Structure formats: C-alpha cells, structure tokens
Amino acid sequence: MKPKQRVQRALAHEAPDRVPIDYLANPGIDLRLKKHFGLDPNDDEALLQALGVDFRALVVPYVGPVLHEPIPERRIDMWGIRTRYVEHASGGYWDYCDFPLKDATLEQVEAWPMPSPDHFDYAAIADLSQRHADYFVVIGDPGYADIINTNGMIRTMEQTLIDLMTDEPAALRLVDRRLAIQLEVLERTLDASGGAIDMVWLGEDLGTQIGPMISPALYQKHFRPRHQKFVDLARGFDVPVMMHSCGSSSWAFDQFIEMGITVIDTLQPEAANMAPAHLKEQFGNDLSFHGCISTAGPVVYGTRQETIDYVNTTLDIMTPGGGYAFSPTHMLQDNSPTENVLAMYETALAY
C-alpha cells in the first residue's frame, strides 16, 4: 500500500498491510538519527523515508511583518511567546519565560499584536500537500486550538488555571482572539489544499499522571464549545480530526466522540486509566489511536531487546482490527539511546 492508503485503512478500523508509522523527535535525537543514516542535518524528508514514516505534517508559513520587538537571549514567536535556552544533562531546551501578559488587563490583551490571517502563505500549503500526495497529510499540531498550554506560555500555567476557574475576562479574550485567527487560517488552508489534507490535528492537555487536570464541567464550559468550531470546520471539508492530550485524559474521550473527534493522540501508557488494553477495550470501536509508545519507558531506559519486546507487546494489543497508528507518545527526547529508537522503528516495520 501507499502510505496514504495505509493510514486511511487503519483509521477506518480495517487491517492495512502493516501498522502506519509516525515520527516526533526533538533536535538532539533527530540529529543523531540523521548521522546514523548518513544524512544531511537538514534533510528531514530522507529521515522520514528511512524510518518508514507514513505521515507528513505541514505548517502554513507565516510571511507577515515582525510583530514583537526582539529581546537579547530570547526567542519570540508571532504570538509574543518568549523562550530562553536552558541547558540540561543531555542537551537543552528553549523554555518559556517572562510571561508578558501574566497581569494583563482586558485592554492590554485587546492591544496585543497578533498575526493576521492574510499574512500566511496558503499557496505553499497547496504545493506541499501535492508534493506529498502519496502520504497521509496532516495540518495542525499538539498545540493547535489549545487553551491551557498556550495561555500558560504567556500568562503562566498557574494563572491560566486560575483564570479558567474564575472566568477571567482578559484571559478568555486572549484565548478567543487567538482561536479566531487559527480558525480562519485553518479554513483558508483546507480550502487552498484542494482536498489534499487528510487530517486536522488539535491539542489540549487535560490530564496529569494521576488523574484529570480539570473537571468535566469545566471542559464543557470553556473548552468544548471552542474546540467544536474546529471540529465542525474540518468535518465540513470531510476531514477527520485528531485530538492530542497528555496524561490521564480518557475521562474526556466520551465527550470527544460526541463532538465528532475520531482519533486520539499521545496515549501515555503510564498515566492513570491510559493502559493500551483499557483504551482498546473501552474506546476501540469509536476511536482510533495514535501514540502509545512511551517516551518515558523502555525506549529511554531499557535495552534494545527490552525496547523490541515492549513495542511488540503494544502492537499485539493495539493493531487487531485496525484503528491504530504507531507513534511515540511525545517527541522522542535527547536521553533516548539511538539504538533503542532504531529498534523501535525497525520493530514496527517488521511487525
């Protein structure tokens, strides 16, 4: 099968020729994998082909003006989110900092510079999606249309959770300004792609390791109506929706099903009520799954053989009857041994 057909069949709960495969990694392990295969550090496509990846995730290029003044030793994105580089034992991360709207008033939120939907290159998406016509093309990412994380990046996580409980007008307006822009960008993107986009990827982190991060009632109040607009838009283009959620989030899956979401991403197996067998038994008839291969388990801490055994066990549970795409739960991290990541993908290809 071609990659697109393989994924489509699996997500339709039919058996493909092999399990569909996806790839997520941070720069450290990504560079090591490219070095292993003798690839140029910038040759992302060649690495995806070497690993047998069936998905292609596209990003609509922003081509508008710089909206926020540069600050030394900071990266600032088009939303005004700031990060600084923090080193750790196996590399480093650009971590969120400064939180410029932490104490912002409603008036300050209204005045905060945000990108215009007119300043994205939709023609580039049409070209890219056609170039990847044989692959399963995805638009969006784990942070697309989310509320908690993105507001947390600019107001702090603590303040964001307080905002949601207290119906803070400035915070809710920040959410609605950003999501209105993203919704229009998504509509223009789907229209420009000419039907070449196969799935929309949304995100919202709803769980901790031990239970829900918020109550079902709070999800119903602030999250579901906003997410529903994106789901309805995608379904209007006959495109399925995948929802990302970290941690113990299966408590929300019934709501996702009601909303028309058909694929769930991440599926941290070590979190409460997220064991693969439990998910397959409870939700396997209504949802397809993308993830399940822990980035905090044998791939990181085990031997090569333990990684192989772990992957095979997960596939034994998740693949019967289709409805599963192989992927790490999060981006593979710098502390993942190269040989274990290679074993992970080799095992999936051979299963």
256 pLDDT band, cuts 50/70/90, is: very high
The Cα-based distances of 153 to 70, 214, 242, 304 in angstroms read 17, 18, 23, 36
The Cα-based distances of 295 to 75, 116, 241, 299, 307 in angstroms read 26, 36, 24, 6, 11
Please state, rounded to an integer, the average pLDDT across all residues of the chain: 97
194 exposure class (CB count in 10 Å sphere: 0-12, 13-18, 19+): exposed
Contact call for residues 144 and 202 (beta carbons, < 8 A): yes
Q: Which residues of 223-252 are buried (b: 16+ CB within 10 A; e: fewer)?
A: bbebbeebbebbbeeebbbbbbbbbbbbbb
- Rounded to the nearest angstrom, the gap between the alpha carbon of residue 120 and the centroid of all alpha carbons in its chain is 21
Q: In the prediction, which pLDDT does 59 show?
A: 95
Task: Kindly tell me if the per-residue pLDDT of 338 is higher than 90.
Answer: yes
Task: Kindly tell me if the per-residue pLDDT of 145 is higher than 90.
Answer: yes
12 pLDDT band, cuts 50/70/90, is: very high
The pLDDT tens digits for 75-133 are: 999 999 999 999 988 788 999 999 999 999 999 999 999 999 999 999 999 899 889 99
Q: In the prediction, which pLDDT does 90 show?
A: 77
What DSSP character marks residue 250? G
Indicate the helix (H) or strand (E) that contains 225: helix 224-236
pTM of the predicted structure, to 2 decimals: 0.97
Task: Kindly tell me if the per-residue pLDDT of 29 is higher than 90.
Answer: yes
Handedness of CA 155, 156, 159, 160 (dihedral sign): positive
Task: Kindly tell me if the per-residue pLDDT of 321 is higher than 80.
Answer: yes
The pLDDT tens digits for 39-71 are: 999 999 999 999 999 999 999 999 999 999 999
Q: Which phi and psi (to 5°) does residue 290 adopt?
A: -140, 110
Q: In the prediction, which pLDDT does 130 show?
A: 87
Q: In the prediction, which pLDDT does 254 show?
A: 97
Nearest to 10 by CA among 301, 292, 290, 218: 290
Task: Kindly tell me if the per-residue pLDDT of 190 is higher than 90.
Answer: yes
Q: In the prediction, which pLDDT does 270 show?
A: 96
Task: Give the pLDDT mean for 316-342.
Answer: 97
Taking 3-state DSSP, the helix, strand and coil percentages for the chain, each rounded to the nearest 5, stand at: 45, 15, 40
The residue count of the chain comes to: 351
- Does residue 265 sit in helix, strand or coil? strand
Task: Give the pLDDT mean for 274-284.
Answer: 98
347/351 Cα distance (integer angstroms): 6
Task: Give the pLDDT mean for 305-327.
Answer: 98
Fold observed for domain 3-64+108-350: TIM Barrel (3.20.20)
251/322 Cα distance (integer angstroms): 23
213/204 Cα distance (integer angstroms): 11
Sheet bearing 199-203, strands edge to edge: 55-58, 136-140, 199-203, 241-245, 263-266, 288-293, 324-328
